[in-house]
Amino acid sequence: GADHLPPKGMIPVSTESSSRTEPHPEQGDRWGPDGLRQHRGHPALAAIQAAIALGAATLATIGIWFRGAAGTRVIEGLHGPAEVVTGGLYAGNSAAVVAEGVGWDVVTLALAAPLLLGLAVVGARTDGVTRRGSRIALAAAGLLFYVLYQYHQYAITYAFGPLLPAFIVLAASALICLLLTLGSLPPLRPTPRYPRRTLIAIMALVPLALTGMWAGRIFAALTDPAARAETLQHYTTLPVQVMDLVWLVPLGGLFAVLLARRHPIGYLGATILAVKGATMAFAIVAMVIGTAGATGELEIPGLVMFLAVGMACTYAAVRGILALEPVTTGASGKTPPRAGGIDHWGTPSSS
């Protein structure tokens, strides 16, 4: 595109025919002597990422410690009696849903927000076309997907309350920033160390497990009034199940197929989804523990399963990020002027 053309009047100089010494990508001018754009850090993008991390940390802090004093009472809901919170920021929600949210907020405050903030700070000073820069962007993209998912789910799950505008703004900001972060990526190509088979297994098995769990719960709620009352409580639908089945199941299945076919989008998408999957799985572990504190019942199978998923996704995400490298071409060794994290110049050769 025009953004990657040298300034008017500058004639690209071939490195093969020129004796000029090329500056280091982090020291050179905006345009190199061979006419390729010199990518730098993205301070504006990093500032947006940092603002999102601070926003998520702020909302998580409010959700954990400043949600207000609240009692509970039993009401007659659409599907039968339900225990709901009567005061504070989350009034009108079931006690179990509020407890789940507190667990999720703990992981956001202790893990996701600090990681995203740290990546933003380092990324602002890192050349985006280097290995380090691309790895920072990949990890940040996965964490932005996590923030988008969390606050989108909060916005459609929690009863109407004063935090709804903040949930909407943060989710929308995370979506825009995710797209900008993906657009900042240079073309990437996997090395032989890329954990392709591991990620194929994760991308296929986790959606299958989610489909089995949620389809069974939905079918039971549709056919059994008692199961409907227990599952929906006083809510009108199942937003958690809807989001998982609309977002995670199709994306996981798609990336598994694309990885099996060694398609570039499969490598990029599976790596980012693994980052999101790791943080989300640990959040679900915290949610299960939080719910147990409210109900007195600990779901051991779910706890063990999501802990294992979180560990597997962490392993695959780290290995995947380290094994995706910027594409270089020509004698100059510079990254070609294309962006978006997809190498269009050949089929990946790694296994």
Q: Which of 153-157, 253-257, 325-329 has the lowest mean pLDDT?
A: 325-329
Answer yes or no: is pLDDT of 294 > 80. no
Which residues are within 8 A (CB) of 351 and not within 5 positions of it... i.e. 6 or more apart? 192, 196, 197
Tell how strand 72-77 and strand 80-85 pair up: antiparallel
Answer yes or no: is pLDDT of 127 > 90. no
User: Once rounded to an integer, what is the mean pLDDT over residues 273-277?
Assistant: 96
Whole-angstrom distance, CA of residue 305 vs CA of residue 67 = 30
CA angle 188, 192, 194 (to 5 degrees): 65
pTM over 0.85? The answer is no
Q: Which of 63-67, 76-80, 106-110 has the lowest mean pLDDT?
A: 76-80
Tell how strand 72-77 and strand 188-190 pair up: unpaired
